[in-house]
Amino acid sequence: MITIRPTHHPFRHELTVPGDKSVSHRSIMFSALAEGDTRVRGFLRSADCLSTMACFRGMGVDIEETDGELIVHGRGLHGLQAPADTLDAGNSGTTTRLMAGILAAQPFSSRLTGDASIQKRPMGRIIRPLTAMGADIRGEKEPELAPLLIKGSALHGIDWTSPVASAQVKSCILLAALCAGTEASVTEPTLSRDHTERMLGAFGGKISTEQYADGSATARITPCDRLVSPGVIDVPGDISSAAYFLCAALMVPGAEILVRNVGINPTRAGILEVLRRMGAVIEEENRTESGEPRADLRVRYRELAAPDRDANGVLVIGGEIIPALIDELPMIAVLATQLPCRTVIRDAAELRVKESDRIAVVTENLRRMGAGITATGDGFIIEGRAHLHGAEIDPHADHRIAMSFAVAALAAEGETRIDGEECVSISYPEFWRELERLL
Ligand code: S3P
């Protein structure tokens, strides 16, 4: 249990957030499947990414850890070894779903599982396309839940249309096709994060993406004989981690934050657009575009007038932007309580199947702090101008909930206690130390 008291002192703080979680997972996976050694700089050493590392070590991949970088000794597209034990993805959906694609195409069988949360998360969304590719994959106890039993098979190509915009589903299919040496395409209703496509390109894979007028997108992979290490992967700072500090600066009068080296890939940076729609001014300094684009982000406190509202005076966040800020919605919901208007967040039903049911858990905890919030099937309705008060927060072991409410606590009256605060180690192990430094 951690106790947070509101801050009445305007802070000025400069920080670097740890490496991007999505890019860190993929850096291990692609480096392992490539020929040659890859040095990964800025790798996120959080519980989720360490799960991916342990799984690949379990399949014979030699990964050296030195100060500040990893060296992954690639085994080539066909070099993974049968794991001696069950592969444990811990709390990580990305590890589970992306690895399932790789495992489905291996010449060996495997068992893949994770913690209690992972064993509740929907796996039908990857079991269905993999099965359609000829894979032998099923849930051990329930047909569409982990633990997953995967018997490696010869897979064939597929043109899959996914009902949800999910980078994990898309990447699972692309990785299965890559390892099987077949063509495949994945069409999704809105473009989800494209780190897999970018990294595949950097390793010499053949991938193209087409985006259509209605916002849907197709990624297509064609077979390649081998992946070749680009030598170095430089992981940018995680915008999902930066989000807590950017929002903290917008909740405490007089505050200013500079977050250095943040990944601002357009398929991830939806929060910047939403903060601007709320009236924030975010300066992007030292922007670079190669590989994963990145910039230093500076925000100064200002009263958020939310000028960009609909005819009813409501700030609506929904549609195509949702996949680009899906992990930031708990933080955005907290910030919305401070706007001078009502906010409607919709088209975000995916929040129900994250590390926790984030629609239910955000609603429960914001109510405890005195906010007016209603859960809907696919989002929230949040009343503005809330006077938040301290409360006992139950994050349901969900890292993003714990961190979002730590920021809420900074602007609340009285003390807030967050139970099970160690869950931040899933994506941001130094979070509490950084917050303490800020205060
Ligand atoms: C991720 C994709 C997203 C995101 C998750 C990481 C990834 O999940 O919420 O935190 O690295 O591909 P979905 O693919 O389920 O939308």
Q: Do 383 and 368 touch, CB atoms closer than 8 A?
A: no
The CA radius of gyration of the chain, in Å to the nearest whole number, is 21
Six token digits for residue 266: 């357009």
How far is CA 120 from each of CA 115, 124, 139, rounded to the nearest angstrom? 9, 11, 11
Give the containing element (helix H, strand E) for 25.
helix 21-33
Distance 436 CA to ligand 1 centre (A): 29
Q: What integer is the mean pLDDT of 334-361?
A: 98
As given in the structure block, the two tokens for residue 185 are 């395409």
- Each residue's pLDDT tens digit, 131-178: 999 999 999 999 999 999 999 999 999 999 999 999 999 999 999 999
Q: What is the mean pLDDT of the chain?
A: 98
Residues 193 and 260 grouped into a single domain = no
SS3 160: strand
Inter-CA distances, 246 with 12, 243, 249, Å: 12, 5, 5
Q: State yes or no: is 62 an active-site residue.
A: no
**pLDDT tens-digit readout, 25-49:** 999 999 999 999 999 999 999 999 9
DSSP string, 52-63: HHHHHHTTT-EE
**142 and 220 co-located in one domain:** yes
Domain boundary among 234, 265, 284: 234
- Measured distance between the N- and C-terminal CA atoms of the chain, rounded to whole angstroms: 18
The answer to whether the peptide bond before residue 147 is cis (omega within 30 degrees of 0) is: yes
Ligand 1, atom 9: closest residue by C-alpha: 327
Lookup: tokens for 101: 């694609």
Q: What is the pLDDT of residue 8?
A: 82
pLDDT at 68 over 90: no
Predicted pLDDT of residue 274 = 98
Chain mean position to CA 141: 27
Cα 85 to Cα 106: distance, rounded to the nearest angstrom? 16
Judgement on whether residues 276 and 370 belong to the same structural domain of the protein: yes
- Shared domain check, 89 and 221: yes
CA angle 194, 92, 432 (to 5 degrees): 100
CATH code: domain of residue 243: 3.65.10.10
- Centre of ligand 1 to C-alpha 265, Å, is 14
200 and 70, same domain (yes or no): yes
94 and 49 together in one domain: yes
In terms of domains, do 192 and 330 share one?
Answer: no
Q: Is residue 157 within 8 Å of 85, Cβ to Cβ? A: no
Distance 197 CA to ligand 1 centre (A): 14
Catalytic residue among 234, 238, 327, 398: 327
Q: How far apart are CA 284 and CA 211, in angstroms?
A: 26
In total, the chain counts a number of residues equal to 439
| Span from the CA of 44 to the centroid of ligand 1 (angstroms) | 16
Q: At 271, is the secondary structure helix, strand, or coil?
A: helix
Cβ count near 161 (within 10 Å) = 12
Q: Is the model's pLDDT at 290 over the cut of 90?
A: no
Q: Do 86 and 223 have their domain in common?
A: yes
Domain count, the chain: 2
Q: Are residues 172 and 310 in the same domain?
A: no
Collapsing DSSP to helix, strand or coil, 20 comes out as coil
Among 327, 353, 345, 302, smallest CA distance to 427 is for 327
- pLDDT 10s digits, 260-289: 999 999 999 999 999 999 999 999 999 999
Count the neighbouring beta carbons within 10 Å of the beta carbon of residue 251. Answer: 22
Query: Residue 356: is its pLDDT beyond 90?
Result: yes
* pLDDT > 90: percent of the chain: 98
Q: Pocket residues for ligand 1 (CB within 6 Å)? A: 22, 93-94, 166-168, 171, 192-193, 326-327, 350
Domain-terminating residue out of 184, 216, 234: 234
The rounded distance, in Å, linking the Cα atoms of 303 and 268 is: 25
| pLDDT tens digits along 88-117 | 999 999 999 999 999 999 999 999 999 999
- Mean pLDDT computed over 50-75: 96
Average pLDDT for residues 342-367, to the nearest whole number? 98
My answer on whether 8 and 38 are in the same domain is no
Q: How far is CA 268 from each of CA 58, 154, 227, 320, 415, rounded to the nearest angstrom?
A: 31, 34, 26, 12, 33
Residue owning tokens 């429960």: 364
From residue 307, how far is each of 255, 270, 274, 337, 340 by CA, in Å? 21, 17, 11, 15, 10
The CA-atom distances, in angstroms, between 134 and each of 83, 124, 128, 177 are 22, 15, 10, 11
Buried b (16+ CB within 10 A) or exposed e, 176-193: bbbbbbbebbbbbbbbbb
Residues 267 and 405 in one domain: yes
Amino acid letter, residue 262: V
Domain end among 201, 234, 267: 234
CB proximity list for 148: less than 8 A, separation 6 or greater? 96, 100, 111, 112, 113, 123, 127, 137, 138, 139, 140
**Contacting residues for 348 by C-beta, under 8 A, at least 6 apart:** 318, 322, 326, 329, 359, 378, 379
Residues 229 and 256 in one domain: no
Range of the structural domain that residue 422 is part of: 2-19+236-438
Task: Give alpha helix (H) positions in 40-161.
Answer: 47-57, 93-104, 124-132
Q: For ligand 1, pick from 166, 191, 235 the residue to mutate: most ligand atoms within 8 Å of CB.
A: 166
